[in-house]
Amino acid sequence: MSKWAPKVLHHYLWPPLVCFGLAYLAMQTEPMEQMAWRTLDWRTKIRAYFQPPADERIAIILFGDETELNLVTWPPDRAYHGMLSELISVTGAAVECWDVILDSSREGDGDHSMSQGVKAAMDRGTQVITGAVSNLDPVENAPAAKGPTQPIRNITGDIASIYGDDYLVEPFPMLREVSWFGVVDAPKGADGIIREIPLVVRIGKVVYPSLALQTVMAYHHVAADEVKVRLGDAIYLSTHDGELRVPIGPDGKYFINYRYDHDDIRPDFPTKSYIEVLLKLNSYYVDGVRDGPAPPNYKGKVVFIGQTVTGRADAGPTPRSAYSPLVLMHANVVNNILARDFAKRVPNWMAWMGMLALAYVCVWLTIKRSITLVASFSLLVIVSHLSLAYWGWIWWSLWFPWIGPLLGLIATQFIVIGRRIWDEQKAKQEIKGMFGSYVSPELVERMVNSGERPRLGGHQVEITAYFSDIQGFSSFSEKLPPDRLVELMNEYLTVCTDIVQEEGGTLDKYIGDAVVVIFGAPLTLEGHAYRACVASQRVQLKLAELRDKWRSEGNKWPEIVWAMQSRIGLNTGNCIVGNMGSRTRFNYTMMGDDVNLAARMESGAKSWGVYTMCTDATKLACLAHGGDRVVFRALGKIVVKGRAQANLIHEVVGLKENITPEALECVRLFEAGLECYYACDWDGACARFKESALLEPNQPDEYKGVSSNPSLVYLKIIEQYREKPPEPGWDGVYVMKEK
């Protein structure tokens, strides 16, 4: 497995799974479900401009306000229904479907007249179907004879899962004995719109066909025993045109491919009023009036009769309209079945998994290709997905969950592309950090912000140069294997670098174990000498902590590591700082005589038996800014190798808050001895240096790598001058023979 594979798995494998999982859960909530239905309704309305006309075999008759006004009474005398039913049959209608609940028996001749009219229509060959409805409570109109309607028995699946109730409100006895009935149950969704309708309805343990299914059965002359119901699959009807398959869900519900309405968008089902049809048919067929307008011709058609009387209307919202006669629901179902125009539902898992696969393609592109390509591909997927959801429904009645998968994809891309951008920005910051190992991070940031390309050149500025080196580093190299040496140096250099940068220093470079730092450039740093001195002492204190840590780790490190010491040299002066090197490879660094002097302070510290040494310029600049917090000890006047001019040098003893009284007394005695030394008072100087030697923090110790200290150094120098006194006019300058 490649090195980047774990990172890819960690950063890019989980976002699609999480995003699609959350999107799926979100789509289970009612608000998101309603949004999905609403978007389908919008597409259904737009589809009306593109769809073919309704099936010519279907017609609608509506009992509305005009009819109620002309018939005078409510409820209307059922004799009118019987008359209309018989007259429609005279025209040669194939099926009459009454979307009306005519349950209770009434006084008078209305029930008898209607049943006789319906019977006459049935005898003439027109199949008449009236409505029944499921009911929770028992009913009192169950007759001994049910009439022609029979339950459906050939059912595969769990009957208990079928939509229904315990009891059935059926047509009044005389009507149900001479005609079919179908269950009109049409449960509404959460928003009040009927989108699914049960084609079979369970009444107790018996299953009856719905009004729409009974209508289709009557149209094709299919008996109940010839109907096969496969829950979760389809209802199968054997017709003269072959087997008719009507898809249903596990609960027996059918998803309505709703096309036709009365919203005047396009011509829909031909619709006439009840009173108009009744009068015209009666005038033509009963009264024999032949010179008027031709009556409606329902030959071979399925005629739906519904009612829309204001205040008593069987009406409500539909996928295409805010208010329409609900008989259109049954009419659309029958239209779907007769025209074999079913909505094609893509399985949920297929839609989700397909989009998830595309999301992983986008993830792969995010890893391998540019953000522009990823964004373009993602946009193409989104547009294609939306187009399929839009035009798929319009042209092919293709319906699938599109909002959830789209949300999953968008969320995935948001996270993955965001992660890519984050990683790239992080990589830039890492590059800045890496580049800042050679030049300062502040300089890198300033260069980035300025928008200017780095170029060669430098300028003179006062800085404090900082050099440090590990005492006896070659011995470490001999005693430690390379990997352990690298581990040790990384820990040490990290500490040194962190501290000097915290104090405002700019890391110039590493030279093996050496650390070179600039205080005061490229950004102006007030009190840079003071900060450099403080940084040197913080490094020494931290190194003491590291020594304790390494010692506590037992055999992990050899004893030489436990005694690691670092020498630091400081000098303040005007130097040249800037980008130096070739035109293609350069480094921000410092150059000049004062830089060399700082390096001599570091190397010369060994000769004087100290671990931090600085020039007089650094001491004066430090005291001017930081007061007496930093404690110095004068070490004398020296001429370093390679220079002719004498310099006052000092030991940076430590920070005042950390100095012991013994160390302060040592400094006092040493500097008193130094005064005697300048006066060539060898005896007085020896006496003072011998006293200070007893208080020196660094006592000769082969284990610790300490061979001398300033007091012992001066005692040796005095012995040399006793044997060979300095020339007359000597000013106390000591010429160093080593770097």
Domains present along the chain, CATH in parentheses: 5-34+345-433 (no CATH), 56-338 (no CATH), 453-656 (3.30.70.1230), 660-739 (no CATH)
Residue type, 430: E
Beta strands in 120-215 (DSSP E): 127-135, 155-156, 164-165, 167-169, 180-183, 196-198, 200-203, 206-209
Rounded to an integer, what distance in angstroms lies between the CA atom of residue 102 and that of residue 76?
Answer: 11
Q: CA 485 from chain center: how many Å?
A: 43
Instruction: Name the pairing type of β-strands 506-511 and 457-470.
Output: unpaired
* Locus of tokens 């300058």: 733
- Give Cα separations from 225 to 151, 238, 241, 358, 612 (angstroms): 8, 11, 19, 47, 107
CA distances for 416 relative to 158, 286, 354, 403, angstroms: 45, 77, 18, 20
Element housing 289 (H / E): none
Distance set, CA 261 to CA 61, 255, 267, 316, 321 (Å): 14, 17, 9, 12, 7
Token duo for residue 717: 């120098």
* C-alpha span between 310 and 54 (Å, rounded): 27
Q: How far is CA 620 from CA 569, 615, 628, in A?
A: 15, 9, 11
Low-confidence ranges of the chain (pLDDT < 70): 1-12, 72-74, 140-145, 427-457, 583-584, 641-644, 703-704, 736-739
d(CA 378, CA 16): 14
What lies within 8 Å, CB to CB, of 228 at 6+ separation is: 154, 156, 235, 236
Cα dihedral: 194, 195, 200, 201 (round 10): -40
Rounded to 10 deg, the angle between the 348-368 and 14-27 helix axes is 150
| Secondary structure percentages of the chain, helix, strand, coil, to 5 | 45, 20, 30
CA-CA distance, 140 to 146, in Å (whole number)?
Answer: 14
CA 224 to centroid of chain Cα atoms: 54
Burial of 218 (0-12, 13-18, 19+ CB in 10 A): buried
Q: 693-719: buried (b, 16+ CB within 10 Å) or exposed (e) per residue?
A: bebbebeeeeeeebebbbbbbbbebbe
Tell me the pTM.
Answer: 0.61
Nearest to 306 by CA among 342, 332, 338, 336: 332
Q: How far apart are CA 663 and CA 695, in angstroms?
A: 7
pLDDT of residue 3: 47
**H or E element that contains 427:** helix 403-435
Query: What's the pLDDT at 442?
Result: 58
Integer Cα distance of 243 and 237 in angstroms: 6
Distance, C-alpha 687 to centroid of its chain: 78
* β pairing state of 95-101 and 302-307: parallel
Separation of CA 285 from chain center: 72
d(CA 118, CA 78): 11
Distance CA 555, CA 137 (A): 89
What is the predicted pLDDT for the residue at 430? 57
Helices 348-368 & 371-396, crossing angle to 10 degrees? Answer: 160
Measured CA to CA, the distance from residue 197 to residue 210 in angstroms comes to 9
Pairing mode, strands 457-470 and 566-581:
antiparallel
Residue whose entry in the numeric block shows the structure tokens 């589809």: 47
What is the phi-psi region of residue 656: left when phi exceeds 0, alpha when psi lies from -120 to 50, beta otherwise? Answer: alpha
Q: What is 294-339 written as a DSSP string?
A: PPP--TT-EEEEEE--TTS--EE--SS-SSEETHHHHHHHHHHHHT
Q: Among residues 702, 701, 671, which one has the least CA distance to residue 688?
A: 671
What three-state secondary structure class fits 527?
Answer: coil
Token couple for 502: 């915290």
Residue with tokens 């110095």: 632
What does each C-alpha distance from 553 to 139, 490, 546, 566 come to in angstroms? 91, 17, 11, 21
670 with 689: CB under 8 angstroms?
A: yes
Q: What is the DSSP string of 341-378?
A: ---EE--HHHHHHHHHHHHHHHHHHHHHS-HHHHHHHH
* CA pair distance 417, 118, nearest whole angstrom: 70
Reduce the DSSP state of residue 664 to 3 states and report it.
helix
Q: Are 458 and 576 in contact (CB under 8 A)?
A: yes
Angle, CA of 454, 459 and 463, to the nearest 5°:
110
CA distance 402 to 409: 11
- Per-residue pLDDT tens for 635-647? 999 887 666 688 8
**Per-residue DSSP letter, 640:** -
